[in-house]
C-alpha cells in the first residue's frame, strides 16, 4: 500500500474573506475540515502549501491559513510563489523524504494553483486524488465558479482520480 499525504493548497484567509469569498466558501471549509479530521484520525501526514505574492504578504491576516484549518505540530507548511506548488519549493523533496507516493489534494484556486499542482504531481509520478468538491474559486467574467470547477475537474481527471469528500478514506 502506498503512503499517502493530504495536501491542502492555499487555504488562506483571503480566499474566505467575507467581502469576497470563493464560491461556496462555507461548504469548502466544511469539506477541508472533514478531510483534515479523517487524515489526522488515520495518522496521515498533512502538508499545507501557503501562497505568497503582492496581495498575500507573509505575516498579514490575508496570508494566514484559515483558523478552522490551523496546522498542528508535526504538519509541514511549504511556502510558494507560483501556481505550481512544486516550483522552486521543497515540496517534492519533503514528499520523497517521507516516502509519500499518493497525494490527496484540496484547497484553492481551482484553475490556477490546484490545476498546476495536480498536473505537476502527476508528472512527477505521484498517485493523485483530487477531491472534486474540496477546491474553490471565484466567478470570472465568462464563467461561474461552478462551471470553472466542473470544467477543471473534467480536465484534471486525466491526471488524477476524482473523489468527493465523503468518498475519501485514509489508510496507512
**Residues classed as catalytic:** 113
d(CA 120, CA 77): 18
Query: Distance (Å, rounded) from C-alpha 153 to C-alpha 17?
Result: 24
Nearest to 165 by CA among 90, 94, 105, 83: 105
User: What is the Cα–Cα distance from 78 to 87, expressed in whole angstroms?
Assistant: 11
Amino acid at each position: 500500500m502506498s503512503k499517502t499525504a493530504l495536501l491542502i493548497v492555499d487555504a488562506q484567509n483571503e480566499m474566505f474573506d467575507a467581502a469576497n469569498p470563493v464560491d461556496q466558501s462555507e461548504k469548502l471549509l466544511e469539506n477541508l475540515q472533514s478531510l483534515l479530521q479523517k487524515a489526522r484520525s488515520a495518522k496521515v501526514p498533512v502538508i499545507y502549501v501557503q501562497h505568497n505574492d503582492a496581495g498575500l504578504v507573509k505575516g498579514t491576516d490575508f496570508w494566514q491559513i484559515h483558523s478552522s484549518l490551523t496546522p498542528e505540530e508535526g504538519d509541514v507548511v511549504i511556502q510558494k510563489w507560483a501556481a505550481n506548488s512544486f516550483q522552486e519549493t521543497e515540496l517534492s523533496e519533503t514528499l520523497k523524504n517521507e516516502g509519500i507516493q499518493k497525494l490527496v489534494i484540496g484547497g484553492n484556486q481551482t484553475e490556477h494553483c490546484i490545476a498546476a499542482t495536480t498536473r505537476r504531481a502527476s508528472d512527477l509520478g505521484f498517485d493523485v486524488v483530487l477531491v472534486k468538491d474540496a477546491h474553490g474559486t471565484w466567478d470570472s467574467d465568462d464563467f461561474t465558479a461552478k462551471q470553472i470547477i466542473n470544467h477543471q475537474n473534467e480536465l484534471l481527471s486525466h491526471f488524477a482520480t476524482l473523489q468527493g469528500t465523503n468518498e475519501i478514506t485514509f489508510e496507512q
